[in-house]
Amino acid sequence: MSQTSFEISFSFIGTGKTVKGEIQRNNCPQTFEAIRDKIREKGFYTVRSRGNIGSTRTYWMLLIGLRKGGEKDEYKKYKTGDIVYCPRQDALFLIIDNPKIQYPAYFIGKVTEGLELLSSLQNGVMCKIELKDIT
């Protein structure tokens, strides 16, 4: 049986800041497997990141480079701490607070620790993404 949940960590290089979360396969299976496979190649995956444009940051975007299409159920009721994949932007979004996302997005997991750190990051900071099996 395949692993269905992973702990995911987002370490922002040069800042000492790490955000942790959990992603689950049943929420967004194709995207989950693409992320897992990409990270398993090296044990981690490094991407560029940025906050949304505007005076108040409502989400943090990680340009993940998966090139995956949509999933079964589009997600529209964003909550603080959600992790969603937006195929149009080809990015993971870490939801900070009540965003206005104009493209389809798909729920993949939740931030469990460090969400408050995202508001103090600078745009363009590199992010190292790692996965760990949940036993």
* 60 contacts 96 by C-beta, under 8 angstroms: yes
* 63 contacts 46 by C-beta, under 8 angstroms: no
β partners of residue 111: 21
Structural domain including 20 reads 5-133
The pLDDT of residue 1: 37
**% of the chain exceeding 90 in pLDDT:** 34
3-state SS class at 122: coil
User: pLDDT tens for residues 52-107?
Assistant: 766 678 889 998 887 776 677 788 888 999 999 988 888 899 999 888 888 888 89
Residue 47: phi and psi, rounded to 5, are: -135, 160
**What residues have CB less than 8 Å from 95, skipping those under 6 apart?**
58, 59, 78, 79, 80, 81, 82, 83, 84, 111
The pLDDT of residue 13: 94
- Which CA distances in Å does 21 have to 9, 69, 88, 103, 112? 6, 23, 23, 23, 5
CA-based nearest residue to 48, from 34, 66, 65, 35 = 65
Confidence of residue 2 (pLDDT cuts 50, 70, 90): low
Number of domains in the chain: 1
Distance CA 65, CA 39 (A): 12
Confidence of residue 125 (pLDDT cuts 50, 70, 90): very high
User: pLDDT tens for residues 4-23?
Assistant: 888 999 999 999 999 999 99
The pLDDT of residue 75: 83
**What residues have CB less than 8 Å from 124, skipping those under 6 apart?**
48, 49, 50
pLDDT for 43 beyond 90: no
The pLDDT of residue 69: 65
What's 9's domain CATH number?
Answer: 2.40.100.20
